[in-house]
Amino acid sequence: MVYAGFWRRLGAYLIDIIVLLPLFGINYYFGEHYRLFALYQFVPGLIIGLWFSVYLVFKYGGTPGKLLLNTRIAMIDGSPITAKAAILRYSVLFILSIISSVALLSGYLNMSDEVYFSLSYMDRAKKLVELAPSWYGFTTILINIWVWGEFVTMLFNKKRRAVHDFIAGTVVVKKDVTA
């Protein structure tokens, strides 16, 4: 197996962001017009995250970015990824995202339409953080530690495994072009 390097994995991540841009645009548009849109899209957003980061990984061996860069996610022995491993890979980020989103939803619910629509996008974001429960800040710190820990871990091991790879028993490898 030839392990996918840091830059290839980073490139795949950036491609995945581009693939998801239309959803970000939809969230932005409706968020500008409906104060409670974040509440309405909470469960569909979780389902899309699970579909993208668990189902696609299990079914096809990777997200669109990984597949476009000719890589796949495999078990440590090179066999196809299992459903359990796909779930484990995404579990920490999924849980932290839920906690963070619930805190911000509290901010949306504690803000009136009048205040919400009177603020610019950036001022609204600041106000939502102010209105969120105090543990939101701690959750944000945990998410940052998780994300940066993923990158640092990936840089300092020969197989370029991130923390979620160690949790799930997976590796990201270059696809065999002769297969």
Q: Which two tokens stand for residue 114?
A: 């009048």
Nearest one of 117, 93, 104 to 33, comparing CA atoms: 117
> What whole-number distance in Å separates Cα of residue 38 and Cα of residue 123?
17
The amino acid that residue 122 corresponds to is M
Q: Residue 57: which residues within 8 A CB-CB, separation 6 or more? A: 63, 73, 81, 86, 89, 90
Q: What is the residue type of 116?
A: Y
Cβ–Cβ under 8 Å, residues 153 and 163:
yes
pLDDT at 73 over 70: yes
Does the pLDDT of residue 179 top 70, yes or no?
Answer: no
Average pLDDT over residues 99-111: 96
Give the percent of the chain with pLDDT over 90.
96
List Cβ neighbours of 170 (8 Å cut-off, separation of 6 or more): 73, 74, 75, 76, 81, 85, 89, 161, 164
Does residue 88 surpass a pLDDT of 90? yes
- In the prediction, which pLDDT does 58 show? 98
Contacts 24+ apart (CB under 8 A), 112-119: 113/35, 116/35, 117/35
How far is 115 from 41, CA to CA, in rounded Å? 21
**What are the structure tokens assigned to 73, written together?**
């996610």
Q: Please determine, for residue 169, whether its predicted confidence score (pLDDT) is greater than 50.
A: yes
Question: So what's the pLDDT on residue 176?
Answer: 72
Chain length of the chain: 179
The confidence score (pLDDT) of residue 44 equals 97
